[in-house]
Copies of this chain bind each other. A is one copy, B any other.
Amino acid sequence: MAEYKLYCFDKSGNAYKVALMLNLSGADWKPRFVDYMNGETRTEEFRELNPMGEIPLLEHNRLVLSQSGVILDYLAGKIGKFGAKNEAQRREILRWILFDNHKLTSYIATLRFLRTFTDRGENDVTKFLEARSKTALKVLNSHLQDSRFAIGNRVTIADFSMCGYLYFQDEIGINFAEYPHITRWLAEIQNLEGWAHPYDLMPGESIKA
């Protein structure tokens, strides 16, 4: 049995944040496919595990953890990689993870979902989400102009959090040529040993047990 079990599916950037951390760490982990698209996270069984009804979930020893930011922080402590080395770094990491949750992933993940997995087409909601997404991307792009990674020269869990949905570029419908520093940063992460695209790292419907 693998040490870490990650409840995930290949379309979830939030699950990818954790899968990427596990894979880049060389951790002993295995995915457990969740059939989100067919409503598994709305079942009673799943709500028992996570009343927030969200992916990812991580099982480790007897703990079941939810919220990607909590899981990343937990793994950084357990594995001893990609975490903070002092209090100032810890605050900076948390700051960018909160920014990601509040302003980046929140809008981009929803925009991508509406554009890629529904057939409602363009409307005021996609326009609204696109504008909010671009504001967040602009903040991140400016930051990465002067900083190699989210926190200085070292990859941390803040990077994993923020890049979660950004390898799905074709599905978001925003032209990333406007964000050259984000593009450079994504390529640097992509070059790390153990990197894989979400669609290659996590199971999709096709290999459902």
Contacts and interface: CB of A to CB of B under 8 A. Distances in A.
A45 B128 CA distance: 28
A154 interface: no
Interface in A37-80: 51-53, 65-67, 69-70, 73-74
The A interface is mostly helix, strand or loop, or mixed, namely helix
How many monomers of this chain does the complex have?
2
| Interface size band for A | 20 to 34
A142 interface: yes
A91 interface: yes
Interface of A: 51-53, 65-67, 69-70, 73-74, 91, 94-95, 97-99, 101-103, 105-106, 123-125, 128, 139, 142-143
Given A70-B95, A125-B125, 14 more contacts: A51-B139, A51-B143, A52-B99, A67-B94, A69-B94, A70-B91, A73-B94, A98-B98, A98-B101, A102-B102, A102-B105, A102-B106, A103-B106, A123-B124
